[in-house]
């Protein structure tokens, strides 16, 4: 049996249609390394020429994402392996503790990490670099004034996700 060094294991990927748009899932065959809203997620550089299109490693993720969008799943249980600095990984871990239907601010997240309010900017930058959106719920972080700011998939997607989770009221529908 040939064992590959995880650093040289080709990235596997698949695209999943969802109510918020197509999602690109990436992984190493064992864990999810990325989830990007297409077509133009701010931090996604594009599919690598050595990547392998293979939906099989993403069956559990596809099932859980379908249940999430159906309102049947409120907490993901998937192996994740996002690449980042230790600080970024601490922020991303803290994001996973924000419950469905709740939001927090960058300052509150900094405090949760034992940092001063001045660290809220660094927390925001780490939040913005989250490579596994939705599953690591960076969309649940809002501005101190309650404004929807800073989402790599775009503010309309953030608004959709927060409305779906009940964090924002549904937009009023016009009678005309």
Handedness of CA 80, 81, 86, 91 (dihedral sign): negative
- For 70-87, b/e burial (b = at least 16 CB within 10 A) is eeeeeebebebebeeeee
* Whether residue 74 lies in the annotated active site: no
CA distance 157 to 74: 18
Choice among 138, 141, 157, 162 that is catalytic: 138
* Tokens 């937009």 found at: 171
Give the span between the Cα atoms of 170 and 162, in whole angstroms: 9
Q: Is the peptide bond before 27 cis (omega within 30 degrees of 0)?
A: no
HEC sequence for 30-48? CCEEEEEECCCCCCCCCCC
Distance CA 82, CA 50 (A): 19
In 45-142, at which residue ranges do the beta strands (DSSP E only) sit? 52-53, 104-105, 141-142
Active-site residue set: 138
């Amino acid at each position: 049996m040939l064992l590959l060094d995880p650093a040289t294991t080709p990235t596997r990927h698949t695209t999943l249609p969802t109510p918020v748009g197509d999602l690109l899932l990436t992984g190493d065959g064992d864990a999810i390394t990325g989830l990007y809203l297409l077509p133009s997620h701010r931090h996604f550089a594009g599919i690598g020429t050595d990547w392998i299109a293979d939906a099989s490693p993403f069956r559990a993720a596809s099932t859980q994402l379908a249940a999430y969008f159906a309102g049947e799943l409120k907490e993901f249980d998937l192996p994740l392996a996002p690449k980042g600095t230790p600080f970024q990984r601490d922020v991303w871990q803290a994001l996973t503790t924000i419950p469905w239907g709740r939001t927090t601010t960058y300052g509150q997240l900094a405090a949760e990490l034992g940092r001063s309010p001045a660290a809220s900017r660094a927390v925001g930058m780490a939040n913005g670099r989250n490579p596994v959106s939705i599953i690591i719920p960076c969309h649940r972080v809002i501005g101190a004034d309650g404004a929807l700011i800073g989402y790599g998939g775009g503010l309309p997607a953030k608004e959709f996700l927060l409305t779906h989770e009940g964090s924002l009221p549904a937009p009023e529908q016009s009678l005309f």
